[in-house]
Each structure stands twice: as structure tokens, then as C-alpha cells.
Structure 1
Amino acid sequence: MTVGGREFYVYRYEGELNDIPNAVVIISYPREAFGDPKALRAFISTNAGISTQEILDTYTERWPVEIFFRQSKNKLALDKYQIRSRQGIERYWLIMSLVHYMCCMHSGKYNTFEEG
């Protein structure tokens, strides 16, 4: 299967998963890294009505958001804030987003967060 210009080996399971009566589990390996345990990805969906292609396309679009949250939690302590007001939380999120952006764009070109 091709997703975002890359080829993947894909397996789809539909059925009961814990307390979810009709879950979809997709296991994928990039073709160029088949057999590498670090390259294995598993995706879960509760919408069995959509195709494997649609699920993988959606995750491909969503993946940068997941990376942002992981990096912000691990490197910027996003999950440690103790603010209760809505305005304070919105301001904190804005500051976190700006700091993340500045770390990635410090030299005028996009870098990974770790390089920034």
C-alpha cells in the first residue's frame, strides 16, 4: 500500500478488542525497513467503516501533531503546568507553541526540535 509516496506492508484486523466491539487495528511496516522492530507501527480506530487507506492517510496528516505533543511534554514540560483559568491555559499553550516554533526555526530554516 502506498501512503504519502512511501510503500508499506499492511495488515488489518477487524473485531473485538478489549471492550471495543468492532475495532480496527492496522499494523504497518515501511517496505524499506521491513523486519526492523523500530519501524513497526500499529494504529487503532473505532470506525470500521473507513478503509485502511483512509486511516493511514489520516494518521499521516496527524503525525506531526503527535510529535509536537511528545516533544512539548518531554522537552518543555507541557504536561506539568498548574494553571486553572481558561485564559491562563490559552496563554500557556500559545507560549509553548511559540517556543517550539522558535526551537525549530532558529536559523531561518526548519530543523528538528532536537537540532533547535
Structure 2
Amino acid sequence: MHVKLSAGMVAAALLLAGCSSSNSLTAAGKNVRFVEEQPGKACTLLGQAVGEQSNWFSGPNGEMGGSMRGAANALRNQAAAMGGNVIYNVNSPSQNLLSSFVPTASKMTGQVYRCAK
């Protein structure tokens, strides 16, 4: 019984640590920028990307300024992995009235482009 209890506590600790961590920017993700104007002809649309960050345990204003920053970092990392360097038309479908009161996961989507520098 003691072994089962200890194994359960270790599993719970790992779960809490994994859920509360924030997405960090990769070296390539740091080179991706958000834009408000649609990219021009010098840019190629690569597709849609999604960034998500759980904040169930850290709360809506947890580590590193909240889970929206973690979702933005995940979005930039995914865009870089796709070969992009610009994200346009970003929205946050997860942000609603409920997320103001209950710590729900944050999600951001955007169109990824590769633009000449």
C-alpha cells in the first residue's frame, strides 16, 4: 500500500509540473514576428498554426505573465518549425467570459507566412 501511495504522489507531482509550465521560445521562434497588416506579394502563405498553453494550475495570470504569453510562444515556435517568420490574423478563440473566472487553457491561431527580410 505504501508503494502505491508513493507512486501516486510522484505521478501527481509530475502532472502538476507539466501542466503549469510555460512554453519557452526556441531560437527559431524568436525570429518570428506578429503583424497586423496582411503580408504582401513578397511573402508566401505556409498555412495555419495553433499555439496552446494550459493554465489550469498556474491560473490565468500565472508564470511569465499568464498563459496567453505561453500560447503566443507556442504559436511562434510552430510557425518557425513550418519555415515561417511572420504570423498574421492572430486570434484567441479560447478567450471568453468564462476564461475570466475559471483558469482554462489559452489558445491562439494565426496564418503563417515566409517573407523575404
In our comparison, the structure showing a higher alpha carbon Rg is: 1
Q: Which has the higher helix share?
A: 1
TM-score bracket, shorter-length normalisation:
under 0.3
TM norm structure 2: 0.28
Instruction: Compare relative contact order (CA 8 Å, sep 6+) and give the higher one, 1 or 2.
Output: 2
